Structure 1
Amino acid sequence: MIIPKTLSSIFNQEHFAPYPKVLIPQNFVDKRGSIKNIADGKLGDVAVITSKANSVRANHVHDHDWHLSYMVSGSMKYFWKSDMQDNLENSVIVNAGEMVYTPSKAPHKMVFLEDSVFIAISELSRVQENYEADTKRLPDNFFV
């Protein structure tokens, strides 16, 4: 797995080994609570997104952008393929406290299993015209 160059050195190959899930580096715990550094580096956007149970998000592919998606609450079934020519469909359940990585050119889809909140972290700005220019929508039946 190629680690995004815009992430800082707190991330290494080991963090991306369970792809698409990402191990979160530098957890800090003391009597006050804990700190999870879910992203560090030159980032274009950080968005908090809410999703209702059984709703679908993504079902698209980005030409240049990558994403980290950290599940704050709830859960989703995350679908992906390595590229547009890949016939092998993969999926994994992502629960609260877990994060997945979507590289550029990887078709992906999220189906929320319950009301959920996640943080989407991307390299590029999510200003609508920039986001849409980098995004290709997929047919509803692209993922089974």
Structure 2
Amino acid sequence: MKKTVTAIAFALLSPTLALADGAPREDWGRAGILSSANKAELPPITLSSGMPLAEAPWVLTSGTYYEFEIEGDGSAELALEGSEFFRAIWIDEIVVNDLEIRPLGLNSIEFDDAGTMEIGFVAIKPGAYFLRIPGSSGETQRIEIIIE
């Protein structure tokens, strides 16, 4: 009984995090999942009339912090929607013209003119998702996203 209580207390009070395989994540540091050791860059998405959104699907790992840029070239008023994807992640911040936005949620984004937006998020809920240009039906007008 004493060993069980000690093991439970150690597990609750331990400052380290662990991966699914049980390996400790001491390298994350004090920032935890927001530390640079847990951060990955995704390829940018380019919003341009008639051009594909991405070359390949994104395969993400739950619990990892990701950043990506969306670049609109101003060739048309274009948006991206993907409410299920946006509900499966925690958005840390959206940066537009050096202005940082920290939303509670997101349904879609739209570019009326040329510009760049950066989104930082933590993948949370495993599953298959997408981002797409609203009203489009072509495969090149969407990006498939898998969170493992």
In the superposition, the TM-score normalised over structure 1's length comes to 0.37
Name the structure, 1 or 2, with higher relative contact order (CA <8 Å, separation 6+). Answer: 1
Question: Which structure carries more helix by proportion?
Answer: 2
In the superposition, the TM-score normalised over structure 2's length comes to 0.36
